[in-house]
Amino acid sequence: MSPCAGQNANQDPMGEIVFQNTLSGHKEPFVPLHPGQVRIYTCGPTVYDYAHVGNFRTFVFQDILRRFLRSRSFQVIQVMNLTDVDDRIIANAAAAGVGIREYTEKYIEIFLADRLALNLETPEHVVRATDHIEDMVKLIEQLTAKGFTYESGGSVYYRISKFPRYGQLAKLDFAGIQPGARVDVDRYDKADARDFALWKAPKPNEFFWNTRIGPGRPGWHIECSAMAMKYLGETLDIHTGGIDLVFPHHENEIAQSEAATGKPFVRYWLHAEHLLMDSEKMSKSLGNFLTLRQLLTGGIKPSSLRFLLAAVPYRSKLNFTEDSLQQAAKSVERLRTFAARLRTGTFPEGRSPMAERSVKARQEFEEGLEDDLNTAQALAAVFDLVREANIAMDGGEFRHEDVLAVQQTLEIFDEIFKVLVGDDAEKLRALGLADSAAFGDAEVEALVAERQAARKRRDFAASDRLRQELSDRGIVLEDSRDGGVRWKRK
Ligand code: AMP
Ligand code: ZN
C-alpha cells in the first residue's frame, strides 16, 4: 500500500484512503486538490422543524468522515449550509405571524444543540442561505451572461438543454427532455428533469428580496453552489449529503457551478444511504420519523444513538429498530467497562503478546476506515481486541505493559467514534432533558448497593463501571473512609 497524502502523526505505515465516488460509480483513491488540506461541502438541514434521526444518520457519517481525515493529519475545511428560506419556511413563518429569520432561529438553535449531544464536530463554516443572497444573485448573473438562463413570469430558470452533461451524477439520460418544460418546486421526482428555478418571483403577499435580477427569492439549488464556491473555491474535494439529494439537488448544483466556471465542481461525491423505519425511508412527509429528543426522552442515551448511526457503513441502508438501539447501548457499555478495567485493574509486570495484538487491531481498524469508511470492519477489529484482552485478563495473562498499548488503540478508536466518555447525563442536561431521563431513588440505591458489593470483593472494574453508569445518569458518589458511600444527584 502506498502512504496516504496527509502527514502521518503516529509513525505507523498507513494505507491509501479510497472513497466510493457517486460520480464515477466506483471506489477511487482519495487525493485532495491542495496537499494536506481537504475542502468539504455538506448540505445542511432545512430549518423549518426538528431534524429527525434519519437526518442525523447523514450528519454522523459526515462527522466520521471529518474526524477520520483529521486523524490522518489533513486540515479539514468544511462548510455546512442552513437552508433558512424555502416554500415550507415561508408558509410556516407566515402562519406563525413571524418573519422567516425569527422562525428559523429557533430550529437552528435546536439543531446545533442536538449536534452537540451526538458529539458532532462543528464545521469550520456554518452558513445561512439568507446571509448570501448577493452571492446567489451574482452567480445567476454569471449564468445569464453565458446564456444558461431565461426569464419567465418574473422567475429565472436554468436551461438544462444547454448543459450536455446534465444527468451524469444521477446516471439518468435526459436526451428526450422537452426543452422549456419548467418546474417551480425545488424537490421533484427522478426522470422528471425540467428547467429549474434559480430565482423565484414572489407570490402575492409573500416575503421577497429586492435585487438586481428583480424581486424574489433564491431557489434551493443555487444556494449550495454559491456558498460552496464562496468558501471553498471553484473546485471542492468532497461534497456530501444523503442519497436522496443526488437528483435533482446535486445534479443541479453541478449544472449551475460548472456552467458558471467551466471547471469541475466536485472531485468526490459521497452520499449516505437512508435510515429506514419499518422498511421505508424515515421522512417528515411519510410521518414515520423520530426526533433526537423523542428518543432521549424515552430513555435512550445519546451515545447509543451515535454508536448505532456510526456502526453501519454509510453506503448501506440502516434499519432503525428498538432492538438495534439496545444492542448499540450494550456495545458502548462493553467498551466503557473494558476501558475502566484497563484503567483500574492491577496486572503483573511485563509484557504479553496482547501488546502486539493491539497494534494489529489498530491496523485493521485503520484498514476498515481507509476502505470507504467501512465502520463495521473497523469496529470488528476493536471488539475482537476487547474480547481477547478480556480473556487474557481473566486468565491472568494480561501484563502491565500491555495496558498502554491497548489504551492507545482505544484512543485512536475514540477519536473517530466518540462514545467512550460517560457523559450522557451531561448531554441530556444540556438539552434540558435531565429530569425526564432521571431514574428513581430505589433504582439508584440498587446500583449503589451493587457497586458496594463489587468493591467488597475487590472487583474494581465492575465497581468503576457501576460508578460510571451512575454518573451517566446524573448521580455522584462520595466514598467515605470507613468504606461507606453517599450519593447525590448532580
Ligand atoms: P433536509 O433537511 O431534508 O434537507 O435533510 C438534511 C440531510 O438529511 C440531507 O443530507 C438528507 O439527504 C438527509 N436525510 C434525509 N432523510 C434521511 C434518511 N431517512 N436517512 C439518511 N439521511 C437522510
Ligand atoms: Zn445542498
282 close to ligand 1 (CB < 6 Angstrom): yes
What is the per-residue pLDDT across 182-237, written as a single tens digit (0 to 9) for each?
888 777 766 566 899 999 999 988 889 999 999 999 999 999 999 999 999 999 99
3-class secondary-structure state, position 434:
helix
Spell out the residues 6+ positions from residue 481 whose beta carbon is closer than 8 angstroms to its own.
none
Q: CA 253, CA 227: separation in Å to the nearest integer?
A: 11
Q: CA 293, CA 428: separation in Å to the nearest integer?
A: 9
Which numbered ligand comes closest to the C-alpha of 289?
A: 1
3-class secondary-structure state, position 453:
helix
Predicted pLDDT at 461:
86
Predicted pLDDT at 459:
85
379-408: average pLDDT: 97
Which residue has better confidence, 45 or 475?
Answer: 45
What is the per-residue pLDDT across 301-334, written as a single tens digit (0 to 9) for each?
999 999 999 999 999 999 999 999 999 999 999 9
277 close to ligand 1 (CB < 6 Angstrom): no
What is the per-residue pLDDT across 406-451, written as a single tens digit (0 to 9) for each?
999 999 999 999 999 999 999 999 999 875 445 666 677 878 888 9
Query: Across all residues in the chain, what is the average pLDDT?
Result: 92
Distance 468 CA to ligand 1 centre (A): 34
Q: CA 380, CA 382: separation in Å to the nearest integer?
A: 5
SS3 content of the chain, % helix, strand, coil (to 5): 50, 20, 35
What is the per-residue pLDDT across 55-72, written as a single tens digit (0 to 9) for each?
999 999 999 999 999 999
From 41, 50, 58, 314, mutation site for ligand 1 pocket: most ligand atoms within 8 A of C-beta: 58
Burial 194-204 (b: 16+ CB within 10 A, else e): bbbbbbbbbee
Q: CA 127, CA 43: separation in Å to the nearest integer?
A: 11
Distance 206 CA to ligand 1 centre (A): 27
Which residue has better confidence, 445 or 130?
Answer: 130
Burial of 235 from C-beta contacts in 10 A (0-12 / 13-18 / 19+): middle
Which residue has better confidence, 489 or 465?
Answer: 465
Q: Which atom, in ligand 1's list, is nearest to the CA of 241? A: 10
Burial 85-115 (b: 16+ CB within 10 A, else e): bbbebbebbeeeeeebbebbeebbebbeebb
349-371: average pLDDT: 97
Task: Cell 470492519: give the residue.
Answer: 377
242 close to ligand 1 (CB < 6 Angstrom): yes
From 22, 43, 48, 55, mutation site for ligand 1 pocket: most ligand atoms within 8 A of C-beta: 55
Least confident of 85-89, 153-157, 183-187, 219-223: 183-187
Are the C-beta atoms of residues 335 and 459 closer than 8 Å to each other? no
Residue 16 has pLDDT above 80, yes or no: yes
Residue 6 has pLDDT above 70, yes or no: no
241 close to ligand 1 (CB < 6 Angstrom): yes
What cell does 90 get? 415561508
89 close to ligand 1 (CB < 6 Angstrom): no
Residue 463 has pLDDT above 70, yes or no: yes
Q: CA 377, CA 387: separation in Å to the nearest integer?
A: 15
- Residue with the smallest CA separation from ligand 1 atom 7 is 55
- Residue with the smallest CA separation from ligand 1 atom 2 is 45
320 close to ligand 1 (CB < 6 Angstrom): no
Neighbours of 185 (CB within 10 A): 13
138-160: average pLDDT: 96
3-class secondary-structure state, position 241:
strand
Confidence (pTM): 0.88
Q: CA 243, CA 190: separation in Å to the nearest integer?
A: 12
Distance 81 CA to ligand 2 centre (A): 7
117-138: average pLDDT: 98
Predicted pLDDT at 2:
39
Predicted pLDDT at 1:
36
Distance 46 CA to ligand 1 centre (A): 9
45 close to ligand 1 (CB < 6 Angstrom): yes
344 close to ligand 1 (CB < 6 Angstrom): no
Q: CA 54, CA 383: separation in Å to the nearest integer?
A: 26
